[in-house]
Chains A and B, each alone.
Chain A
Amino acid sequence: MTGPFETLLKTALVGTSRQEPAAPAIHGPLGELLQQLAQGADGPSERLLRMAGAVWLCSQAGYVEASSETTLEPRAPEETRPAHDSALNARVLKPLLTEGPERLQFEAFTRLDAAGLRLAPALLPAALEAGRKSVAIRPPLTRVLGARGHWLAGLNPAWAYAAGGTAGSSVLERWDHGNLEQRRVAFAAMRRQDAGAAREKLAAELAQLNARERADFVGLMREGLAPEDEAFLDGLLKDRSKEVRQAAAALLMRLPESRHGQAVAAALAPLVRAERGILGRRLNVEAPAAADPGWKDEGLDAARPQHESLGERGWWLYQLVRNAPLAWWPEHGGMDPPALLQATAKSEWKEALRRGWRDAVLATGDTVWARALLADWDKKSLGSDHAEVLAVLPLAEREQHWERALADSSSGVAGVIPMLLQACPPGHILSPAFSQHLAQAMAREWAPGINHSLRYYIADALCLLDVASLEPVLAALRRGDPGEAATQPERIITARRALAQLASPFPQASTAP
Chain B
Amino acid sequence: MDFSADAVLALAPDDSSAKAARGLTSPVKWPTLGADDRAVWGECQGSGSKPYQTQVDLSGPTFKCSCPSRKFPCKHGLALLLIRASDAKLFAGGAAAPQWVEEWLAARQDRAERKEQRAAERAAAPPPSPESIEKREAQRWKKIEEGLDQLQLWMSDQVQRGLAQLGAVSRGDFQAMAARLVDQQVPSLGQRLRDAADEIGSAPDWPARVLRCFAQLQLTIEATRRRAVLDTAALADLRLALGWTLEKEEVLAQGERLRDDWLVLAVAVEQRDAKLQERRVWLQGLASGRRALLVDFAFGGSGFDAAWIAGHVHKAEVAFYPGAAPLRALVAAQEDVLPGPMPQSEASSEWQDAAQRWSRNPWLRLQPLLIPQAAPVRGQEAWTVDTGAGRLPLRIADESAWALAAQTGGHAVPLFGEWDGTRLTPLTAWTTEGLWTNASFA
Contact = CB atoms under 8 A, between A and B. Distances in A.
A5 interface: yes
Nearest to B45: A482
Nearest to B161: A15
A52 B215 contact: yes
B409 A151 contact: yes
A375 to B, nearest CB: 46
Given A14-B164, A49-B214, A53-B215, A43 B411 contact: no
Most chain B CB within 10 A, of A6, A46, A124, A490, is at: A46
A417 B140 CA distance: 73
A5 B214 CA distance: 13
Contacts of A98: 15
B268 interface: no
A121 interface: yes
Nearest to A152: B406
A122 interface: yes
Contacts of A487: 19-20, 22-23
A511 interface: no
Nearest to B219: A53
B100 interface: no
Contact of B359 (A17, A61, A72): A61
A124 B431 CA distance: 15
Contact of B406 (A65, A90, A148): A148
B218 A50 contact: yes
Contact of A68 (B19, B162, B386, B410): B386
Contacts of B15: 98
Nearest to B410: A75
Contact of A45 (B160, B222, B391, B402): B160
Contact of B162 (A14, A53, A90): A14
B406 A56 contact: no
A194 interface: no
Nearest to A95: B19
Interface in A387-425: none
B433 A121 contact: yes
B5 A90 contact: yes
A49 B410 contact: no
Nearest to B207: A13
Given A90-B6, A125-B399, A56 B216 contact: yes
Contacts of A62: 355
A296 interface: no
Q: Chain A interface secondary structure, helix, strand, loop or mixed?
A: helix
Contact of A16 (B9, B160, B211): B160
Nearest to A74: B410
Contact of B156 (A46, A64, A120): A46
Nearest to A45: B156
Counting contact residues on chain A (CB < 8 A from B), the size range is 35 or more
B159 A121 contact: no
B358 A61 contact: yes
Given A46-B152, A478-B28, A491 B23 contact: yes
A86 B410 CA distance: 21
A13 B164 contact: yes
Interface string A4-23: 01101100111111100000
B390 A53 contact: no
Contacts of B207: 9, 12-13
Given A61-B355, A91-B5, A52 B211 contact: yes
Contact of A122 (B20, B351, B359, B433): B433
A95 B411 CA distance: 27
Given A44-B160, A45-B155, A151-B410, A65 B391 contact: yes
Contact of A5 (B152, B164, B208): B208
Nearest to B362: A57
Nearest to B166: A13
Contacts of B161: 15, 17
Given A125-B403, A490-B23, A55 B392 contact: no
Contacts of A122: 403, 406-407, 433-434
A381 interface: no
Interface residues of B, number: 63
Contacts of A121: 406-407, 409, 433
Contacts of A9: 163, 207-208, 211
Contacts of A16: 159-160, 162
Contact of B26 (A44, A156, A490): A490
Interface in B5-36: 5-6, 9, 15, 19-20, 22-24, 26, 28-29
Interface string A59-80: 1111111111010111110000
Interface string B347-368: 0000100110011001000000
Contacts of A244: none
Contacts of B163: 9, 12-13, 15
Contact of B165 (A15, A70, A120): A15
A383 interface: no
Contacts of A484: 23
A45 B159 contact: yes
Contacts of B391: 65-68
B377 interface: yes
B421 interface: yes
A50 B45 CA distance: 64
Contacts of B40: none
A155 interface: yes
B18 to A, nearest CB: 8
A16 B214 CA distance: 15
B159 A49 contact: yes
Interface in B403-427: 403, 405-407, 409-411, 421
B403 A8 contact: no
B409 A76 contact: yes
Given A9-B207, A65-B387, A49 B28 contact: no
B69 interface: no
Given A12-B163, A17-B161, A66-B391, A156 B402 contact: yes
A8 B211 contact: yes
Q: Which A-B residue pairs are the 6 nearest by beta carbons?
A: A15-B162, A65-B390, A76-B409, A487-B23, A45-B156, A52-B215
16 contacts: A9-B208, A12-B159, A12-B163, A16-B159, A45-B160, A49-B218, A52-B212, A53-B218, A56-B219, A66-B390, A95-B19, A125-B406, A151-B410, A152-B402, A482-B29, A487-B20
Given A9-B211, A49-B214, 11 more contacts: A13-B207, A15-B161, A45-B155, A53-B216, A53-B219, A57-B219, A61-B355, A68-B391, A70-B379, A91-B22, A478-B28
